[in-house]
Amino acid sequence: MDLNELMESEDLTKNYEIQDINANKPMGILAYLGLLVLVPIFTARESKFAMFHAEQGLVLCVLAHLVGILAAIFSLIPVIGFVFSILMGLVGVVIFVLMILGIVNSVNGLAKQLPIVGKFTIFKLQ
């Protein structure tokens, strides 16, 4: 898999009804705000648009927590920990950028997969 394949993101907006999109943009936004991803998962199950963004947001949330845990564990090792912490900080910046991109997609009414992580799912919510 090369970098171009990772950066490609499929636009699935045509698969969603405009009424669903307009009614559930706020739920799509919440999906990218850390543990607030649970709000659309439990309150907007009937919305395909909200569940699309909840799947994307859940992947980012789990990834962010894993990065934090790994950074904490490896920070205990003197030299390796410092280098690993810098690397995990850069991964954290990428996760933050992906969160912003997801929020922008939701505000604009787009169901567009995020680059890098968009093809992954943890649970099939739709």
In a domain, 120, yes or no: no
pLDDT at 126 over 70: no
- By CB atoms closer than 10 A (0-12, 13-18, 19+), residue 75 is middle
For the chain, how many structural domains are there in total?
A: 1
Over residues 9-28, the pLDDT tens digits come to: 888 899 999 999 999 999 99
Please, are residues 68 and 90 in contact by the beta-carbon 8 Å criterion? no
In a domain, 83, yes or no: yes
In a domain, 117, yes or no: no
What CA dihedral angle connects 97, 103, 107 and 111, to 10 degrees?
100
Over residues 61-78, the pLDDT tens digits come to: 999 999 999 888 888 888
In a domain, 65, yes or no: yes
Domain, as residue range, for 84: 18-107
What is the arithmetic mean of pLDDT over 54-60?
A: 96
Rounded to the nearest 5°, which phi and psi values hold at 118? Answer: -65, -25
pLDDT at 96 over 80: yes
In a domain, 125, yes or no: no
**Dihedral of CA 96/25/110/54: which sign?**
positive
